C-alpha cells in the first residue's frame, strides 16, 4: 500500500531506497541539505566525507570536503550556484563551487567572537544569499543575532539581541531569503519564524509551530514556510502528543496548510522524523529532509538503543505533478 503524507498541495510519498550509496561510504548526521539548479542533492554531513552529491534519482555523483570542517551544520545554494556551508564548531561560513573549490571564508576557523558578543561568529548556524548576492548568517548557539555581508564577505550590518521580543532571538537556527529579498529566520527556542527586510527591520512573524529547526521557503513573493519542527527535549513534556517532530507547511498568516509525519511520534521509518534539521526541495517539488540522529537520539528517544546504522535523511516525492 502506498503511503501518502500531507494534505492539499503538499502531499508526499516517502521513497525509502532512493539513495544508492556504495558500501563503505557511511554518513554522519545530515545537518545540511541543498539542491542546485540541476536537481543535484548535496548532503552536508558529520561523517568522514562531509559533502556527498547525489543525482535526483539517487546515484552518487561526487564527494568532497575531507579535513575541512569541525561540525557541519547548515548548507545552502545561492543564486550564484555556489554552495555556502556553515560550521558551528569552528565559527565559519565557507563558500565553494559546486565541485568543492573554496572561494570565500567568512570568520576565522576556531576563533570565536565570544558568548553573546553580537559580533560574527560564535557558533553560527546557517547562511542564505539574497537575490542581490548579499550573505546573511544566523549566529545562534552562543549568539543571538543575524549578520549581513556583501558578496565579498565584508560585514555590513548585525542585528538582534537575546530575548522574545520583535527582532530578538532565542537560538536563531536557520535562515532563508525569498525572491524579494525578505529574510526568514527560524527562531527555534521562541517557536516562531521572524521576517525582516534586507536591512534588518522587523516586519512580521509566523507562529503556531514548535521549535523550528529545518527551514525552507517556496518560490516567489509571500512564500509558504516548510518547517522541520523538533520534539521537546524536556522531561516535563517529553511524551506530549502534537509537539513534533514534524515537517509542516505554514502560510504567512501562521495557518497550518499541511503536516508530515507517519505515526504518532519520533522514528526513523519511511515518512517519520527524529530531528528534522535540514530541508530542501528540487524542481519537481520533491522534498529532502536531513535528520540529526547521533546528536539527538538520547534527547528524543530515551528507552531504545540507537541503531548501528540509522537512516539519516530521506526523500519525499511530491504526489501531485506541479512543483512547489
Instruction: Specify the pLDDT at position 4.
Output: 94
φ/ψ (deg, to 5) at 299? -80, -30
User: Is residue 277 within 8 Å of residue 228, measured between CB atoms?
Assistant: yes
Angle at alpha carbon of residue 275, lines to 96 and 165, rounded to 5° = 85
Which residues are CB-contacts of 123 (< 8 A; sequence separation ≥ 6)? Answer: 88, 89, 91, 112, 139, 140, 141, 142, 143
In this prediction, residue 184 carries a pLDDT of 98
Residue 299 host element (H or E) = helix 297-300
d(CA 75, CA 291): 14
First CA to last CA distance, the chain: 25
- Report the predicted TM-score, pTM, of the whole model to 2 decimal places: 0.96
d(CA 63, CA 57): 16
Any idea which residue has 546573511 for its cell?
Answer: 136
Q: Does domain 5-318 have CATH number 3.40.50.720?
A: no
Residues with Cβ within 8 Å of residue 108, at least 6 apart in sequence: 91, 92
- pLDDT recorded at residue 241: 87
Using only C-alpha atoms, the chain has a radius of gyration, in whole angstroms, of: 18
Are β-strands 51-54 and 202-206 bridged in parallel, bridged antiparallel, or unpaired? unpaired
Q: What is the pLDDT of residue 59?
A: 98
What whole-number distance in Å separates Cα of residue 200 and Cα of residue 180?
14
Q: pLDDT under 70 in the chain at which residues?
A: 1, 321
Task: Specify the pLDDT at position 239.
Answer: 81
- Contact (Cβ atoms closer than 8 angstroms) between residue 25 and residue 60: yes
Q: At which residue does the C-alpha cell 535523511 appear? A: 313
Amino acid at each position: 500500500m502506498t503511503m501518502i503524507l500531507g494534505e492539499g498541495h503538499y502531499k508526499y510519498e516517502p521513497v525509502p531506497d532512493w539513495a544508492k550509496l556504495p558500501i563503505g561510504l557511511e554518513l554522519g548526521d545530515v545537518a545540511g541539505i541543498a539542491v542546485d539548479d540541476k536537481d543535484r542533492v548535496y548532503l552536508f554531513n558529520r561523517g568522514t566525507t562531509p559533502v556527498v552529491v547525489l543525482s535526483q534519482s539517487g546515484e552518487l555523483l561526487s564527494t568532497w570536503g575531507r579535513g575541512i570542517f569541525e561540525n557541519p551544520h547548515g548548507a545552502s545554494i545561492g543564486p550564484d550556484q555556489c554552495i555556502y556551508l556553515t560550521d558551528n564548531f569552528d565559527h565559519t561560513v565557507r563558500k565553494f563551487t559546486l565541485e568543492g573549490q573554496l572561494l570565500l571564508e567568512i570568520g576565522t576557523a576556531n576563533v570565536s567572537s565570544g558568548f553573546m558578543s553580537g559580533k560574527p561568529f560564535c557558533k553560527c548556524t546557517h547562511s542564505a544569499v539574497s537575490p542581490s548576492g548579499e550573505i546573511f548568517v544566523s549566529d545562534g548557539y552562543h549568539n543571538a543575532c543575524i549578520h549581513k555581508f556583501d558578496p565579498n564577505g565584508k560585514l555590513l550590518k548585525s542585528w538582534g539581541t537575546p530575548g522574545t521580543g520583535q527582532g530578538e532571538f532565542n537560538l536563531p537556527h536557520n535562515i532563508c531569503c525569498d525572491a524579494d529579498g525578505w529574510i526568514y529566520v527560524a527562531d527555534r527556542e521562541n517557536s516562531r519564524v521572524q521576517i525582516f527586510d534586507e536591512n534588518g527591520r522587523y516586519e512580521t512573524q509566523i507562529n503556531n509551530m514548535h521549535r523550528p529547526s529545518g527551514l525552507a521557503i517556496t518560490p516567489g513573493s509571500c512564500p509558504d514556510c516548510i518547517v522541520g519542527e523538533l520534539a521537546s527535549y524536556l522531561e516535563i513534556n517529553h511524551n506530549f502528543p502534537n509537539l513534533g517532530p514534524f515537517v509542516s507547511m505554514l502560510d504567512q498568516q501562521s495557518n497550518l496548510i499541511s503536516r508530515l509525519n507517519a505515526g504518532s511520534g519520533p522514528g526513523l521509518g519511511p515518512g517519520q522524523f527524529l530531528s528534522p534539521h535540514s530541508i530542501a526541495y528540487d524542481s519537481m517539488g520533491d522534498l529532502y529532509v536531513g535528520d540529526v540522529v547521533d546528536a539527538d537520539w538520547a534527547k528524543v528517544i530515551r528507552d531504545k538503543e540507537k541503531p548501528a546504522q540509522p537512516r539519516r535523511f530521506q526523500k519525499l516525492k511530491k504526489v501531485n505533478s506541479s512543483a512547489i
